[in-house]
Amino acid sequence: MARHRQSTKIKAEQKNPDLPPSQELIPCEGCSVVHPPVFIPTEEQPVPPVPFCKVKDAPPNCPLRKFMSEAEHLELEIGPGMGRFILAHSENNSNIQMIGIEKETVRVAHVDIEARKRGITNLRLVCGEALPFLIACVPPSSVEKLYIFYPDPWPKRKHHKNRLFQKNFVDAVWACLKPGGTLNAVTDHADYFRHMLEVMEDEERFSQTEAFTRTENERTDFELRFTALGMEAHTASWQKK
């Protein structure tokens, strides 16, 4: 119920005529993995549609792919949620082009509104599933830093297969990262963290480096919630060789 109220509020706010417009929409031609980088709401469609991945590779002329390949310093966050990190990080680093890939439409809409309120222009949001997006859309060796904060831990053993951080995810991340680029992960969940370390242990294509650090305003919404409850934030970074 609370979720429904929040979604209604966000939808109403998107139509606020006093807000600056969303960032220009970059079409993703032929590839339906991605719809709006930043969604432009209309009366008929106040929140972005969740797209389905139907293709294995983005066509070479895909404007979104071209946009990413031309960015000098490209960084990507998977599952930004309500966007505390991605908004602050984009603001703190005006020289980078930040991309957020989030599957929940209302969260995308919320981050879009915040970015518009704060006049952030170096952030693009993609509404969709992270793995097909990494595989099909992100140009090879284009990303300098990839972040994943508090990914869904799927705590029950029978659900572990749903965890995003698996070998196929690491393969996709490796392909997207520039040599020397980093994968940066944070979780409160000790078992998931152990799982991440195990997945990366045998990886000869990466070396574990000193865990990345952030400014106070880049701590995520989940992080604030969990650390307030006394839970530790497990952090790790790996560098593509």
- How near is the Cβ of 165 to ligand SAM at its closest, in Å? 10
Contact present, 101 and 135 (Cβ < 8 Å): no
- How near is the Cβ of 63 to ligand SAM at its closest, in Å? 21
- What is the contact surface with ligand SAM in residues (CB under 6 A)? 78-81, 101-104, 107, 129-130, 149-152, 164, 220-223
Query: Based on CB atoms, which residue is closest to ligand SAM, 52 or 207?
Result: 52
User: Out of 152, 188, 202, 221, which one is annotated catalytic?
Assistant: 152
- How near is the Cβ of 189 to ligand SAM at its closest, in Å? 10
Query: What backbone torsions phi and psi does residue 102 show, to the nearest 5 degrees?
Result: -135, 135
Query: Based on CB atoms, which residue is closest to ligand SAM, 20 or 224?
Result: 224
Give the separation between CA 51 and CA 104, rounded to whole angstroms.
11
Query: Based on CB atoms, which residue is closest to ligand SAM, 3 or 61?
Result: 3
- How near is the Cβ of 194 to ligand SAM at its closest, in Å? 18
Give the separation between CA 57 and CA 109, rounded to whole angstroms.
26
- Kindly report the length of the chain: 241
Query: What backbone torsions phi and psi does residue 236 show, to the nearest 5 degrees?
Result: -150, 150
Query: Based on CB atoms, which residue is closest to ligand SAM, 165 or 174?
Result: 165
Q: Quick check: is 152 catalytic?
A: yes
Tokens of 193: 């963290």
Give the separation between CA 116 and CA 104, rounded to whole angstroms.
19
Amino acid at 46: P
Where in the sequence numbering do the catalytic residues fall? 152
